[in-house]
């Protein structure tokens, strides 16, 4: 079965095409990087080029996986809209994958894990997971930097952001610093979700922003 995955949550993104099996194996055929700031112009043409390169048409795609956040408000909307449209037209399942979950698994450690991303404004996106074979989420939330450090006591911090890892090491926390997961990681996690029926319909697919947009914050402050 063929799975198409997309990640437009960060400054740079990517798409991936993978061949996945009912036993859970997922062979990534190719990952195509997307330059930040131009996702809306690149995404659909790059998907078309990727499929053409592998002699695949869109009707042959069996499932989709997409990074649902947290991350850039604009970037996430572009990626989700493209996957939503394709899945709706083709009537194929979608797996929404949290970037924090991908980070927790990429750390390669078991036990209580705090996946963390810099959210700016001295805040941190935090996902608390129990990792054994896969990750089981407890909760995801936005914390101040100090709240994050307090929550991470006696746990392993996994992050792809140096500002977060430096803050954690400064208070002697155990830290695993990784490369930011790409769409191939989203594909593998998404396939596991699809096999267990953890899918979402195109109309229900939505971004996991964790933090409200500036427009929402400022609107509420004026009301």
3-state secondary structure the chain: CEEEEEECCCCCEEEEEEEECCCCCEEEEEEEEECCCCHHHHHHHHHHHHHHHCCCCHHHEEEEEEEEECCCHHHHHHHHHHHHHHHHHHCCCEEEEEHHHHHHHHCCCCEEEEEEEEEECCEEEEEEEEECCCEEEEEEEEEEHHHHHHHCCCCEEEECCHHHHHHHHHCCCEEEECCCCCHHHHHHHHHHHHHCCCCECCCCCCCCCCCCCHHHHHHHHHC
Q: What is the CATH number of domain 108-177?
A: 3.30.420.40
104: pLDDT confidence band, cut at 50, 70 and 90?
Answer: very high
Mean pLDDT of 37-42: 86
pLDDT tens digits along 155-168: 999 999 999 999 99
pLDDT at 212: 62
| Residue 89 pLDDT > 50 | yes
Indicate the average pLDDT of the chain.
92
| Residue 222 pLDDT > 70 | no
Residues of the chain with CATH 3.30.420.40: 2-98+181-210, 108-177
Mean pLDDT of 188-205: 96
Q: What is the CATH number of domain 2-98+181-210?
A: 3.30.420.40
């Amino acid at each position: 079965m063929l799975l198409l995955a997309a990640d437009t949550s960060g400054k740079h993104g990517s798409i991936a095409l993978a061949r996945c099996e009912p036993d859970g194996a997922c062979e990534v055929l190719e990952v195509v990087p997307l330059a930040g700031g131009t996702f809306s112009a690149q995404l659909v043409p790059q998907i078309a080029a990727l499929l053409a390169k592998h002699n695949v048409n869109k009707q042959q795609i069996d499932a989709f996986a997409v990074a649902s956040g947290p991350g850039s408000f604009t970037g996430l909307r572009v990626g989700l809209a493209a996957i939503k449209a394709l899945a709706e037209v083709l009537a194929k399942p979608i797996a929404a994958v949290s970037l924090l979950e991908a980070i927790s698994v990429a750390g390669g450690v078991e036990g209580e894990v705090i996946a963390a991303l810099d959210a700016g404004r001295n805040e941190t996106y935090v996902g608390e997971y129990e990792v054994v074979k896969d990750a089981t989420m407890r909760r995801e939330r936005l914390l101040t930097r100090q709240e994050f450090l307090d929550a991470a006591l006696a746990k392993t911090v996994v992050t792809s952001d140096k500002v977060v890892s430096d803050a954690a090491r400064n208070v002697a926390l155990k830290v695993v610093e990784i490369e930011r997961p790409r769409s191939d990681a989203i594909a593998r996690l998404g396939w596991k979700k699809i096999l267990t029926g953890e899918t979402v319909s195109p109309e229900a697919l939505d971004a996991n922003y964790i933090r409200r947009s500036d427009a929402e914050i400022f609107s509420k402050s004026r009301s």
